[in-house]
Structure 1
Amino acid sequence: MPYLSLNLQFFADEKTEKATPKKRQEQRKKGQVAKSNDVNTAIILLIVFLFLWFIGGMLGYKLIDIMEHTFREYLLMELTPSSITAIFYELTMEAVVLVLPIMAIAMIAGVFSSYIQVGPLFAPEAIKMKLSKLDPIKGAKRIFSVRALVELLKSLLKISLVGIVVFTILWINLDSVMILALKSVEDGFYQIAMLTVIMGIAVALLLLILSIPDYLYQKYDHEKQMKMSKKDIKDEHKNTEGDPRIKSKRRQKQMEMAMQRMMQEVPKADVVITNPTHYAIALRYDGEKMDAPVIVAKGVDYVALKIKGIARTNNVITVENKPLARALYAQAEIGDQVPEDLFKAVAEVLAYVYRLKNKEV
């Protein structure tokens, strides 16, 4: 029997079920989503090199102007603390003008690549400092894990394929490369820049193709890590909906309170119509405030018996009318007015009650 219970416990804890929407939302808040860094890298490279393809000429002219200005002006300046400061400031501003558009495009590309993978997501918890990440034992386990080996093989494959692509492009353009020494500085610069952009776009397209299976693997691995056991789902349901026993007690308490409020209305009733044993309906009518009599309490069996007992204690008249009692119980709820088709029958009962009260007076 202990062996059987251990087996049952094992199967209960085995993660075989898909993650619930609640767990997916919690993991998303923590920044744990299916995402491939290779997709980010490939898209950033592709967009940046396409950007350089279209406006690289402008940046090239700007860079040549900086070089000409440096050799014509700065080399002839007297080196003093103030001149060095001025040169450093000017070169810094020129470098910002050159680099800032490229950095802005790279940032936009990074945001776009993340958005197409995970949608809009802001998870500050993912960047919180966690001391557990500094644990050398866990770090060693990550380094020598199967996942790390897979990442190493992926990197070697990518390096090999990138090397083949770059070598192929250089081989195709070998004649142009060999005569670079015969060209002017400006022509040689543009030739090298063009080859660099072509190689960059080709490598980016290659990485983009390779990132598709990586993204599918990351998604599969994320789903696998997200799986839950039957016990996890049961515990989550309890935490979300509440313990069934507690809910039952709460519901019972609410029913008791509703019953108590209903019984407090019985002494204010004008009449209680009974079955006589199984049904009891208490009616109240105020001609100045109400258009029709209102049901203030109703019940069957034990509740009916309690209503009749309270009515008897508070001198509320009880009238036996089996068809009317059944009809009122079936057609109206507490707080409702008497249905129109029962007006006549109820009016006769109330008239009888008022005659009895007048005789008593």
Structure 2
Amino acid sequence: MPKAKETVLEIDLAALTHNFDYLKSKLKPTTKFLAVIKAFAYGSDSVEIAKHLEHLKIDYFAVAYVKEGVVLRDAGITTPILVLHPQPVNFKTLIDRCLEPSLYSAKVLNAFIKVAKEQSQNNYPVHIKFNTGLNRLGFWENDVDYICSQLKDTTSISVKSIFSHLAASEAVDEIHFTKKQIKNFEGIAKAFETKTGQKPWLHLCNTSGLINYPEAHFDMVRSGIGLYGFGNSAKEDENLKPIASLKSVISQIHKIEKDETVGYNRAYKASGFEKTATIPVGHADGIARIYGKGKGFVIINNKRAPIIGNVCMDMIMVNVTDIDCYEGDEVIVFDATHKASTLSESANTISYEILTAISQRVKRLLLR
């Protein structure tokens, strides 16, 4: 692989295939696989990721918002797309583009039924979201009767699935809570089936649930972060391959004397003669200010170079006093070896945050 000559996010589609195959190997042949590709496919490239997964015969996609689904449809994606957090103002567009809404409250359910009727829809597929403990979105268990009463009065929609979201499926000290969520979800599903005579698909598991709770795979599982190479545990990380590598170059090297300062607000002061390198990536590219002042680091010629001073909008400065390097040398922010999870831990955050923060101005390079 040629060395980076500018800031670039490499996206390894072979690694994506590996992750898909690994996760799918944990499922029964009849269990469907939904790929979560919201937030530009976790900071990579939603269109290219969707095209590749469609080639791999993925069953479903999920995005957060209608606009994200429209982008996929405009790119020619035909696989069903669940919109996890649709807003009523976008319901007409959602229907026009054959997207499928998550309906999570009485207001949203009734608003969608109204728009579906106005658009002369018949049995339009919808997904009913229940809250089983995450307390973010979703109907409550005791809303089943109300939902069923609304469904009896319309033929405009049809329930394709019932789903919920696990709150702590990666946490070994929350097994009791997760099993309680699973039991509650099973109770909701049984009540819905009994009252309606219908048996929609059931899905509950995210990536960690897929790995840790095979008894809760039901009809479909949803995977986001796992597809991108992270299993929410050190053990599972070894079985997955990060698909994204953020690389850059050294733009300039400075030699500074003791007590000279670096960057805005003179946030770093040299303790002696030092050598610094300026890298063309900053908080406008997704490297938040929290990584400054020695918390974060990059890799140059296989050595860690700590970020010094404040992260700038378009640049960071790193200490390379003990690194043999030159202007134009490649810089690794994270890759399959130097993982985003390790960098994120240095700032007491998670891989999701740094991955999804990578700016759209950063050039994407597909590796096939």
Q: What is the TM-score when the length of structure 2 is the normalising length?
A: 0.17
Give the structure with the larger strand fraction: 2
The structure that is helix-richer by fraction is 1
Q: TM-score, normalising length from structure 1?
A: 0.17
